[in-house]
A and B are shown apart, each in its own frame.
Chain A
Amino acid sequence: MRLEVSAVQYHRFKIAIALLVVFIGAAVAQEPAPTRLLVLGESFSDLPILWEQEEPFAPVGKWMSALQLQWAVGDDGVTIKAPSNLSFFWSKNSTTVAVNGRTVEVTPLRQQGEDFWIPLVSLAKILGLTAVVNPEKRVIKLVSPLQSVEAIQTEIGWLVTITFSYPLTSFPKTGTLRQPDRAYADFPGAALIAMSLPTPTGATPVTGFRLGQFSDDPPIVRFVADANQPLSIGIAGRELTSEGHERWHLVFQPVANRSQWIGQILVRENTSERATFLLLGWFGNELKLRQNGKTLTVSLPAKPLFPLDPSDFGEGLVQSALVETEDGETKLSVALRQPANAYFWTESDLGLALVVKVPSQVARQVRLIVVDAGHGGKDPGAISPLRPSKPQLFEKHLTLDIAFRLKRLLEDAGYKVVMTRTEDVYVSLPDRVAIANNLQADAFVSVHLNSFPQPGAQWGTEVYFWTPQSYPLAESIYRNLLAILGRKGNGIRQRQLYVVRHTAMPSVLVEPCYLNHPEEEELLRDENFREKIALAICRGIMEFFGDLRTLERRGE
């Protein structure tokens, strides 16, 4: 009897479940799919889009920031300002909008309560964007159509200018590919239109140009330069035309014998405590930074392709900046409101960032780094070969110089630093290890310069570690050394070297280059190169501790 009742109950339960599934299915089917708005490649999927007569409306809001618009809502409509100083008032009942002397027919704004809703196709028409509306899939894309491509051959390589109707929000991603050799630039938020392309002629590594819609969602246009040998690509600059169009300048050069060039010098930020210049270009190793009180001077090894736009520096740390060209060299002079530390960051393929920063007084989680300048005193370490009219270089002096630079950079970034020696004295390896272990340091970095039995036979960068916990630190420093110094990578090696074996914290021994290799010896004579070594190690340490991303975010 009990079994029979259970079977009936089970049967009813199954029916109830089936009904529930049907009910939920019907409810989901009736709910319209949410609309996705792609604004120059940035996706907004949580907007309450209003669909009327196939024209979508979006409420005035933060999605407009993706178009770099500024807006003010009034009782009668919305005032909008575009990045090219194009501004207009959109009245709530009007079917036209006056934009810089021309009249554009538009769908009137919708108003619900105090909120205005903007017809997206009309907005695209005003701004020179293309609106791609798919009501079935509920996808709306606002993209910047390509306008033109021009190319000229210069003494440094091919200079290609690509113009878009509306300014894009980010720099294109560039890259190179082999077999066949080519270089490309991907422009997110852009749309392709049919157009003719320039044809390269003459003895040139570039054999042709191509364009394609690399992706529809997100929208990306790819520009490709084909070549008959390995090709490099650089972004020389961007500019806004008086019509509100955006022009991107790209430089294509053969990798072999790549000439130095300077693109735009952009002011990325200028607050009272920190300023950043972005120096676009290819500088090789001939960049020099000098600091004298409140004046910075950067010497660049070529003439700039474009003049420095006069900037209003406001009340920020940088008071003024001046670019002068003399004897094929360019000097960027920067006047500061107060003394600050200046240093370079490598900005991937773009060039360099010149960061100027007032030393931080803000307490933060203080990490202790022990910086070990290799050799010292009676132990000179490696010595460069004898050369007429040039002083011999001693490893012990150079490692101390680099260690001091590293200390300054680390302290500026908020770390506490203890050095195993601060003068030309001999410190035994057990004593160096004991300093780090007794202080319970968070990291130990031993700075050396390499040498090889046959001078000149070996060159490049090596980083040594022993414990597995030290590998991420070794990897991070090695990666930055290769990126910033550009020397050959000989590898990250696990070796039982005394100082990395006996230290109880993440510890590495770095050999950035060889003191008895002629080219690297010359580089080491240059204090800017030694500054770069310190910078790369500093970046590696900061990346290892996850502090570099924090700083960059704060900077942005």
Chain B
Amino acid sequence: MRQETKILLAAFLVVLVAVVLAFFAMRASRRPVQQNQTATMQIWQVTLCYPDLKASRLVKSSLSIGATSMERVVSELFERLKSPGSPDLYPAVPAGTKLLSVRQEGGILVLDVSDEFTRPEFWQGSNVAHLRLQSLVHTLTSLPNVRAVRILVNGQVPEALSGHEELSEPVEPDPTL
């Protein structure tokens, strides 16, 4: 009898250990799923830029955007740059322009946009054109690991914007602004 009690106790302990191990094993298998869900919902701190009404400088403001990918953040910023939401600022992207695709090649963010982007009446003279394009570039290079922006129009390299801003190369932020 005493011998049987020992066997039963040993069996109980084995089962108990197995249950505990199984419990921890299940918890461990759930953890990666939880980590992936946290990575897709990220808060992005960016600097939003617009030209001022005198076209003499960029007006910058900080913005937090919750998004699941950088593409969605860029899309959100692109829309915001079309309408500043303040009468004291100029838009930086022509109304009606569609963002066709976004991808990142190293430190360069490549935007493919529709041809409304090149409307000359939007870009005006050298200063206004420069401040508008730089508003876009300064805004997008405030994203992590983006140092320049390449702009394609319908997948092609466009002519210089309004005869002033060359787009055949990635555009870097002008440090004087």
Contact = CB atoms under 8 A, between A and B. Distances in A.
Interface of A: 374-375, 378-382, 426, 428-430, 448-453, 458, 462, 464, 493-498, 509, 511, 514
Interface residues on B, range: 20 to 34
Contact of B55 (A375, A448, A449, A458): A458
SS class, residues of chain B in contact with chain A: loop
Contacts, number: 71
A208 B176 CA distance: 50
B172 to A, nearest CB: 8
B168 interface: yes
B150 interface: no
A450 B126 contact: yes
B166 interface: yes
B47 interface: no
B166 A430 contact: yes
Nearest to B176: A494
Contacts of B120: 379-380
B116 interface: no
Contacts of A451: 124-125, 128
A511 B126 contact: yes
B61 to A, nearest CB: 21
B125 A429 contact: no
Contacts of A381: 162-163
Contact of B164 (A430, A452, A498): A498
B127 A374 contact: no
Contacts of A429: 160, 163-164, 166
B88 interface: no
Contacts of B160: 379, 428-429, 498
Contacts of A450: 125-127
Among A380, A494, A496, the most chain B Cβ lie within 10 Å of the Cβ of A496
B165 A498 contact: yes
Contacts of A495: 126-127, 130, 174, 176-177
B54 interface: yes
Nearest to A502: B166
SS class, residues of chain A in contact with chain B: loop
A448 B126 contact: yes
B146 to A, nearest CB: 18
Contacts of B168: 430
B127 A375 contact: no
B128 A497 contact: no
B13 to A, nearest CB: 75
Among B54, B125, B175, the most chain A Cβ lie within 10 Å of the Cβ of B125
A452 B125 contact: yes
Nearest to A491: B56
A478 B128 CA distance: 19
B127 to A, nearest CB: 7
Contacts of B54: 458
Given A426-B159, A448-B126, A495-B130, 18 more contacts: A379-B162, A379-B163, A381-B163, A428-B159, A428-B166, A429-B164, A450-B125, A450-B127, A451-B128, A452-B128, A453-B124, A464-B127, A494-B176, A496-B172, A497-B126, A497-B165, A498-B164, A498-B165
B127 A493 contact: yes
16 contacts: A375-B163, A379-B162, A382-B124, A428-B160, A428-B166, A429-B163, A430-B166, A430-B168, A453-B55, A453-B90, A495-B177, A496-B175, A498-B160, A511-B126, A511-B127, A514-B125
A458 B164 CA distance: 19
B156 to A, nearest CB: 14
Query: Shortest 7 CB-CB distances between A and B: which pairs?
Result: A450-B125, A496-B174, A498-B166, A379-B163, A375-B163, A451-B125, A429-B166
Nearest to B174: A496
Contacts of B128: 451-453
A11 B128 CA distance: 81
